[in-house]
Structure 1
Amino acid sequence: MDTLNILLKQLQSMWVGLVSALPNFVIALVVLLITWIVAKFARNIADRLTSHTGMRPSLQGLIETLIGIAIWVLGILIAATIILPGLTPASLVAGLGIGTVAIGFAFQDIFENFLAGILIMLRKKMRIGDMISCEGIEGRVEHIALRETYVRKLSNELSVVPNSVLFKNPVEIITDEDERRHEIVAGVSYDTDLEVARDVIRKAVGTAEGVNTDKRIDVFAREFNSSSIDFTVRWWAGSKPLAMHQTRDTVIRNINRMLNEAGIEIPFPYVTNTFKEPLRLVRDDEPEGARQS
């Protein structure tokens, strides 16, 4: 009976404590409701302010997210102190510090990508729609999130790249400028007048569609190859991959046509075979016995 009485008294005290704490729960819920309203209102204000600054959309979203997180953290801390009056700001900070260290070790990669995403958004380079190349991944940037970046390959596959990869490794931004320089190698036979060949190739490139003739067209003798003397041919055109393929197509076709019109040979590879002993030439109509003799 004593045990039963003790248990009943404990249940009664717990019930009394719960009833007495109900007002605190209600006030905490009201605080959380107010926090939700304030966070939503603050994000709308931040959206209106940042939309007039010319800031990239991903960075606008980051600012709105950080403002919302800060308001929610403050609201949750206030609600926690209301529910648990004995909880002091010092104990909250100490608890958050220990918890942050533990969470940091457990989710190191996630936080690394998160911080890398923030730093990438703060960069002026690598905008949405840019063609990039990094660690064997080449494609168009579709979206920059806090933890990963979505890159659409030229063959239409989507690559989800962790932001830490793009932050720690060199990234080539192919479309950073409207134009870039393109290059091919063109070869002519050894008996060709190289000055004439140079002029013909330069004229062929200058008349190709899509080539920017306001910038310099380079035609440099490159090397003595096995069956040809090679030229390095360089020109300026659009930076997008489609522009590169289109101008390269027209440049190669123009060079081939104009070299043929000028009577300049574009040689095939020549192979010279040497033998230790003289070879005997045999005609097809020669008798079998004569062949063996």
Structure 2
Amino acid sequence: MLRGCLPTPRTADACGLRLLVSLLTVVLLAAAARAQDAADPPPAEPEASAEQTSPQPKDVTVEPRAEDEQIAERLQGILEATGWFRAPVVRVQEGVAFLEGATETDQRSEWAQRLAGRTEDVVAVVNNIEVDTPSLFDFSAANSQLEQMLRGVIQAAPTFLVAVAVLLLTWLAAKVAGVVGRAVANRRVENELLRGMAARFAAVPVLLLGAYLALRVAGLTRLAATVLGGTGLLGIVIGIAFRDIAENYLASILISMRRPFEVGDLVTINEHQGFVQTVTSRGTQIMTLDGNHVQIPNSLVYKSVIENASANPNVRLGFVVGIDYSDSAPAAQDAVLKTLRDHDAVLKDPEPLVLVNELAASTVNLSIYFWVDASKYSHIKVRSAIMRLVKRRLQRDGFTLPDEAREMIFPQGVPVRMIGADAAAGAPPREPARDEPRDQPAALAEADEPEPESTEAEGNLTSEKQEIEQQAAGARKLSDAANLIESPADSQSGGT
């Protein structure tokens, strides 16, 4: 129920109806409880019950020096007047009262005994009144309880109807207050979540006041005071029990207010990179470059470092290439820089850089930096194309690209002489022969062939954003919750 009552526009009416039904249930249960209390006798000891169901016997006075016959006549007249005893007989001898007859309960028998004991000139009481044993199939007590409960319900019906009417009026007043609160927020607040909160904050006090009045009308004054006094305590308990939900909800409010990203931005949150799809009251959903949906709780989003690659469309890329120690570093830098400037995807401003980064074991490492407009081009595709073109340009200009291991170059070749074989054959030793040059790749042999800026494998170097959006449009919708952050296109259309 708490989850469904989060202040989103789609759950406002449902939440109000659920709250109204809950209050009606409380009032109905309270009316039933009052009827039950009216039907049940107040809990007490047997003696106390007898005193409550019958008047407390007082001292019975007779004429001075009353005779036993007068005492017996007086007591028997009292027992017959009550109607509680069948065939009551009272005899008094020498101040001792003998009580006989029958009654339905022990309390009435004890009451008659106390009555006789408090009569003047009675020194002792012998109680021989028999108590009837109820039958196993006697439902008179149950019938009496049902009659009393029915009587209590009928008596409480007008109060219950008035309480229901108060609740219905309260629900209508809360709905009107919510509409007014939303109308005021629409003129001053742009965030949809804050508008829903304003409507909810305007309706909740009206609902609480109506619940208090309904409980007071139903006669539950203590419960009404408890509802108002326990609201703060209930909020604390709910806050502790649903801490994560409340934390995500508050984080969604802060995210929708500060807007660290928009729908469609390429972001990296907690090591997850992708395009933002939706931001709900629970979490932020992104679609990774692999086409997977990732939903991150808003509390984690708000506390994490957010890398927004779309805030500034220009992205700097780079890689490292190594040339031989015998090659000219300035000439290699010029060759690489010319390659970067000739490529259409590389921005002229900021300008590309080719820097000598490290003197490694077998190479002089050049760090190459260049800028790309990520809103038009894919940085991974452009980086692949630049690396390919730089490699081709350096090899075509005669630069050597050795590997990580130390490479020994012998320009005149390595002479090899088989001493044992020449001596055994009696032949003169052979002259050392130069190694034959290795076959060059066909691509390097055709030096004049132009290198394309992008190959079929690299595609057209455009950004993958449109492809990801197409994948997202065809994907299954994970949540029906409203998106708290609009896309730039939606905000422009709404503003116009």
Sort the TM-score into its range (normalised by shorter chain).
Answer: 0.7 to 0.9
Query: In structure 1, what is the equivalent of residue 242 of structure 2?
Result: 107
Query: In structure 1, what is the equivalent of residue 158 of structure 2?
Result: 19
Query: In structure 1, what is the equivalent of residue 207 of structure 2?
Result: 76
Structure 1: segments with no counterpart, 5+ residues: 274-280, 287-293
For residue 151 of structure 2, give the secondary structure of its aligned residue in structure 1. Answer: helix
- C-alpha RMSD of the superposition: 2.8
TM-score (norm 2): 0.50
**Contact 1:202-1:218 at 8 Å conserved across structures:** yes
Deviations 1:182-207 (A, max 9, x none): 11112212211001111111111111
**Contact 2:249-2:282 at 8 Å conserved across structures:** yes
Cα deviation for residue 162 of structure 1 reads 0.5
Query: In structure 2, what is the equivalent of residue 138 of structure 1?
Result: 273
Q: 1:158 to 1:208 in 2, by over 3 A?
A: same
Aligned partner letter, 2:162: P
1:268 and 2:403 matched: yes
Which has more radius of gyration? Answer: 2
For residue 129 of structure 1, give the secondary structure of its aligned residue in structure 2. Answer: coil
CA distance in structure 1 between the aligned counterparts of 2:341 and 2:402, rounded to whole angstroms: 23
CA distance in structure 2 between the aligned counterparts of 1:48 and 1:201, rounded to whole angstroms: 57
1:35 and 2:200 matched: no
1:162 and 2:325 matched: no
Choose from 339, 358, 369 the match for 1:223: 358
Choose from 160, 180, 191 the match for 2:315: 180
Aligned partner letter, 1:19: P
1:192 and 2:327 matched: yes
For residue 122 of structure 1, give the secondary structure of its aligned residue in structure 2. Answer: helix
**Contact 2:208-2:228 at 8 Å conserved across structures:** no
Structure 2: segments with no counterpart, 5+ residues: 1-139, 409-415, 422-496
Query: In structure 1, what is the equivalent of residue 16 of structure 2?
Result: none
Deviations 1:49-76 (A, max 9, x none): 54xxxx5xxxx22112202321331232
Query: In structure 2, what is the equivalent of residue 150 of structure 1?
Result: 285
TM-score (norm 1): 0.81
Query: In structure 1, what is the equivalent of residue 379 of structure 2?
Result: 244
Query: In structure 1, what is the equivalent of residue 149 of structure 2?
Result: 10
Cα deviation for residue 232 of structure 1 reads 1.0
**Contact 1:185-1:231 at 8 Å conserved across structures:** yes
**Contact 2:268-2:308 at 8 Å conserved across structures:** yes
Aligned partner letter, 2:396: E
Aligned partner letter, 2:370: W
Count of residues paired in the alignment:
269
Cα deviation for residue 159 of structure 1 reads 0.7
For residue 348 of structure 2, give the secondary structure of its aligned residue in structure 1. Answer: coil
Q: 1:254 to 1:272 in 2, by over 3 A?
A: closer
For residue 250 of structure 1, give the secondary structure of its aligned residue in structure 2. Answer: helix
Q: 1:210 to 1:71 in 2, by over 3 A?
A: same
CA distance in structure 2 between the aligned counterparts of 1:87 and 1:127, rounded to whole angstroms: 51
Query: In structure 2, what is the equivalent of residue 209 of structure 1?
Result: 344
CA distance in structure 1 between the aligned counterparts of 2:239 and 2:417, rounded to whole angstroms: 84
